[in-house]
Structure 1
Amino acid sequence: MTKAELVFIPTPVIGHIVSTVELAKLIINRNNRLSITVLVMKLPHDSSITNYTKSIGGVSSRMRFVHLSSEDSDSLEQHHHLPPAIFLTLFIENKKSHVKKAVNDITRFPDSPRLAGFVVDMFATSMIDVANEFGVPTYVYLTSGAACLSTLFHLQSIKDDGHNIIASDFKDDKVIVVPGFVNPVPANVLPSVMVDEDLGSKALLTHAKRFRESKGILINTVLELEPHTFRTLKTLSSIPKVYPVGPILDLNGGGGSEQKQADILAWLDGQPPASVVFLCFGSLGSFRVDQLKQIANGLERSGHRFLWSLRGPSAGKFSFPTDYTNLEQVLPEGFLERTSNKGKVIGWAPQVAILSHRATGGFVSHCGWNSILESLWFGVPIAALPMYAEQQLNAYEMVNELRLAVEIKLDYKIETGVVGAGELETGIRYLMEQDGEVRNNAKEMKEISKKAVIDGGSSYICLGQWISDVIQNMP
């Protein structure tokens, strides 16, 4: 039986690499002919990925990590001020020679497995060039949802038709028709990175154009979660085959102190079922002090029990936020004392453990796609407060298209405004006090998500089809 090797190239951001590794685990567990090498890049001043790869140890004899050289990373320091989409694109493209060397090392022995292809992250499409040099196909792994992909293809098509995409055209009360959405999309929820060239739209839409050169696109979503979008994507003849293979989740993930997690879960154990609203804003989420005070006031006024993961600003663009050493300096005077009988403010949060706890009844989230999938896996409804990247679009889809979330403020962007305490109070009350459509939909999606990944489920079938296609497409 011929053995085959896949080379995975994730974006060097922790949420992307964790999702990529979980996908790789699924693949090697499904087919013993395949082995996988994950090429790991390290951003300057960021140890999170190195710590993560060390923490998971030897996953399988058929899966290994190769850490690419960081010797030329310092040369990109001059570009560190650039928006993330632009910086990541430049950073990854700069690693082409390292990737080529690593793949040569993998394939140079007579008994090496046959190279079956590359699986690249959405920001790593420049590596299609390297795959072409080796004469193998490339597949794209999208860690966002299908609606995000559909939007990227739509905007990229507009640009290809000779129309300029100008940020000022996507503001105020305008709406646009985006294939894959049932309803017209308000222009102000389109991610800035998709429509503003200064923030990286040119780079992002160039990636979308290159998606079309791949042999297929794996998407971390569930067919039944975004059925209208998949029906639309099937009608587009100019795009590769798409494979919904999610939810791909790290349900055993840790990363923090075991004692801190034990303290948090002990506090939750003392709360009534579904009584606690959990606030957490992702691995890169932190707020200015004026916004923190509004969140605190909204929480207090809502009257609900809460668990709030509150992080301070990060030391660098791609490093994690840090825990505050003195919460009283950033919260309203007396807040901690007044809410001590019903609330708990923490730093780092074991998100999966909290969402799975019986006491958790709602989730105030930035609507990062991984967080959405985790929340739905446990049937926890969401109150949407998006912050950056594609989160505004995710939030709009969850609130208006799928009725799996309630709104706090869909067009909030962390760099441009402050959400008032009143909006937060209203959103939290609606999230926690209604027992209708949104909560019932979340419970239903919990069951759908779990059925999708077991034998006979839609994602299980799609992953199997992709593996068959990979073997068939081998050079």
Structure 2
Amino acid sequence: MEANSPPLKIYFIPSVGPSHIVSLFELCRLFASRGVHVTLLTTPSSAGFLRKPLLRAEAAGIRIHVHSLKFPSQEVGLPEGVENVVGVDDTDVATKVFRGMGLLRHQMEQFMEQNPPDCIVADLFYPWASDLANRLGIPRLFFDGSGSFPTCLLESVRRPGSPHRFASSKSDPFVLAGLPHPITVTLSRLPDYALTTNEITYMMDSFRDSELNCYGRIVNSFAELEEEYIEHYEKTTGKAVWHVGPTTLLNRSSEDKAERNLKAVVSEDEILSWLNSKQPNSVLYVCFGSGAYFTDEQLFEIASAMESSGHKFIWVVHNKGRTENETEEDRQKWMPREFEERMRREDRGMIIRGWAPQTLILDHAAIGAFMTHCGWNSLMEGICAGVPMITWPLHSEQFFNEKLLAQVHGIGVEVGADDWVLNIYVEYATKNLVKRDRIERAVRKLMDGGDEAMDIRRRVRELTEKAKAAIGEGGSSQRKLTALIEDLQRLKSMRTKGGIDDAKEGEFKREK
């Protein structure tokens, strides 16, 4: 960076999902800590979702500017204040929120044209951001909240000669083509939009076109986790990847760990007090993210499996209300009679309705395994905590993420979920119910001990150490972040000295 040059100015544009908002905010904090002038473009409600972490970052000397956008509530038929899908469990409301997000384009473009940044980091749901960046002569970094591994797998499925096109049934396993590892999947575990052409297919195609038209991809990951797939992505797309994570390891205070618990029913103190009374590796943590709405029948199978396994647990259930609003008749629809009372009396289990302080829980020594939907944030948090995982993917890229855990690194045990689902805002009605015996078998495989469980624990601890090294002094992620900032500064200097055309030409001369 040239002496006395003004700091880089980067605008970050998050999507409206809670995991996307939190992930992109963590990147904001990372860049701002390096002296970059960071502005987050978002609506008042989403800014409120981040109020405490914003204040805490500022107290630590990390300044993140927020540019407020007026959400078009009236235009899309939503009440004032409903501007993201935090806590939304209704398909119609979610659809209107996403429609409103699309209508923010004019406000964003107008602001950026009047106050041009040096770079845009935009979520995949803003495909127009690449065109805007190219028009302004600045780089756009693509962010989708996942890693290089699932992106490479999806790209393999998109190929005209993909083996899935010749599968004889939905349950027949086949190996995806052209990847660094022999990844085995079935048709039932592939996204619907990759199998048949529908509206989602066209939307995903627009995201992909935007990605191929951008400067590169920024990922909350570390090279040692998916190095072959970073190289594969760069080779097949011609686009660079900057892995700068895992960001969850950069914010490890108790306040940061608890911050995701924004709508807690059970306090952090109560959870920690319960965990402190348990032996190391003796508690199973069960959480499927904010977008999992299981049927009562499936919840009943989970409860039955946990009880019969004999192991202690913390179970986060998002689609059930507070205890005081729930009758015994309601409870018996999704759990055995007096299950909750029995688990509490025997000091065996804790059920949390709503949000939970996930990183705070995972980092506790009492946690011995994590049953997860395999969302990328949860995957990273499990690895960073050194906790082996029981994998139960539901939608999005989660079935691909499962393969990274179970097949590539051997740190996950598949529960056997078979059905990819599109609509995450209604109850997850599986075509093939995951029965209690399969759930119990996966739990016992990790929690009962034995040589195989010990090997899995050893492998995940090794990855944890590699993750810590990646963000440490001289680590792979730290080096990548430094290289990216220097690269962006170089492009800024080229624009200043030679104009937009020279800067655009410079895009193709970056150093990886």
Give me the TM-score of the superposition, normalised by structure 2. Answer: 0.80
Give the partner amino acid of 2:110: K
CA contact (8 A) 1:179 1:229 kept: no
Q: Quote the Cα distance in structure 2 between the aligned partners of 1:116 and 1:124.
A: 18
1:400 aligns with 2:407: yes
Are 2:434 and 1:419 equivalent residues in the alignment? yes
Q: Which amino acid aligns with 1:242?
A: V
CA distance in 2: counterparts of 1:83 and 1:226, whole angstroms = 36
Alpha carbons of 1:169 and 1:206: their partners in 2 closer, same or farther (altered >3 Å)?
A: farther
> Aligned partners of 1:214 and 1:76: how far apart in 2?
33
Match status 1:248 vs 2:251:
no
Q: Tell me how far apart the structure 2 counterparts of residues 259 and 336 of structure 1 sit (CA, whole Å).
A: 14
Q: Distance in 2 between matches of 1:167 and 1:21?
A: 42
Q: Within the alignment, does 1:438 sit opposite 2:445 as a pair?
A: no
Cα deviation, residue 411, structure 1: 2.4
Tell me whether 1:99 sits opposite 2:96 in the alignment: no
- Over 3 Å counting, the alpha-carbon distance change for 1:409 and 1:258 in structure 2 is closer
Equivalent in 102, 124, 127 of residue 126 of structure 2: 124
Moved more, 17-26 or 132-141: 132-141
**What is the CA–CA distance in structure 2 between the aligned matches of 1:87 and 1:229, rounded to whole Å?**
36
Q: Letter of the aligned partner of 2:76 in structure 1?
A: S
CA 1:83–1:398 in 2, change beyond 3 Å: closer, same or farther? farther
Partner of 2:226: 226
Any conservation in 1 of the 2:295–2:429 contact (CA below 8 Å)?
Answer: no
Choose 224-233 or 98-107, whichever is displaced more: 98-107
**Alpha-carbon spacing, 1:383–1:2, altered in 2? closer, same or farther (3 Å):** same
- The answer on 1:186 being equivalent to 2:185 is yes
Cα distance in 2 for residues equivalent to 1:202 and 1:152: 15
Alignment partner, residue 508 of structure 2: none
Query: Where in structure 1 are there 5+ consecutive unaligned residues?
Result: 108-114, 314-321
Q: CA distance change for structure 1 residues 331 and 51 in 2, over 3 Å: closer, same or farther?
A: farther
Native 8 Å contact 2:222 2:477 kept in 1: yes
Q: After the TM superposition, which of the residue ranges 138-147 and 445-454 deviates more from structure 2? A: 138-147
Partner of 2:273: 266
Contact kept? 2:286, 2:372, Cα under 8 Å: yes
Q: Which amino acid aligns with 1:241?
A: A
Residues 73 and 220 (structure 1), Cα distance of their counterparts in 2 relative to 1, 3 Å cut: farther
Q: Matches of residues 63-142 of structure 1 in structure 2 within 5 Å?
A: 63-71=64-72, 74-75=75-76, 91-107=100-116, 115-142=117-144
Q: Which of 276, 280, 286 is the equivalent residue of 2:283?
A: 276
Q: Deviations over 1:293-340 (max 9, x none)?
A: 000111111111111112226xxxxxxxx5453273431112223333
CA distance in 2, matches of 1:328, 1:128: 49
What SS does structure 2 have at the residue aligned with 1:425?
A: helix
Residue type matched to 1:454 in 2?
Answer: G
Match of 2:473 in 1: 455
Q: Deviations over 1:362-412 (max 9, x none)?
A: 111111110110011010000011122111111122111211111112424
Query: How far is 1:50 from its partner?
Result: 3.8
Contact 1:5 1:117 in 2 (8 A): yes
The sequence identity of aligned pairs, in percent, is 26
Q: CA deviation at 1:94?
A: 2.7
8 Å CA contact retained: 1:278, 1:362: yes
User: What is the rounded CA distance, in whole Å, between the counterparts of 1:220 and 1:57 in structure 2?
Assistant: 19
Ranges in structure 2 where 5+ consecutive residues have no aligned partner:
79-89, 421-427, 496-512
Read off the aligned partner of 1:51 and give its amino acid letter: G
Taking the aligned partners of 1:385 and 1:15, their CA distance within structure 2 comes to 18
- For 2:169 and 2:27, how far apart are their aligned partners in 1? 35
Distance 1:214 1:201, change over 3 A: same
Residue 438 and residue 196 in structure 1: after superposition, are their counterparts in 2 closer, same or farther (change >3 A)?
A: farther
- Give distance in 1, aligned partners of 2:368 and 2:140: 42
More helix by share: 2
Deviation at 1:215, TM superposition (A): 1.1
Shift of 1:267: 0.8
Structure 1 residues 21-40: aligned runs within 5 Å: 21-30=25-34, 32=35, 34-40=36-42
Q: In structure 2, do the counterparts of structure 1 residues 175 and 83 end up closer, same or farther at CA, with 3 Å as the change threshold?
A: farther
TM superposition shift of 1:463: 1.0
Matched, 1:467 2:485: yes
Distance apart, 1:82 and its partner CA: 7.8
1:308 alignment partner, SS class: strand
One-letter amino acid matched to 1:371: S
Describe the shift of the 1:221–1:68 C-alpha distance in structure 2 as closer, same or farther (beyond 3 A): same
- Corresponding residue to 2:49 among 47, 52, 57: 52
Structure 2 vs 1, CA of residues 175 and 41 (structure 1 numbering), >3 Å: closer, same or farther?
farther
SS of match in other structure, 2:303: helix
Q: Alpha carbons of 1:170 and 1:388: their partners in 2 closer, same or farther (altered >3 Å)?
A: farther
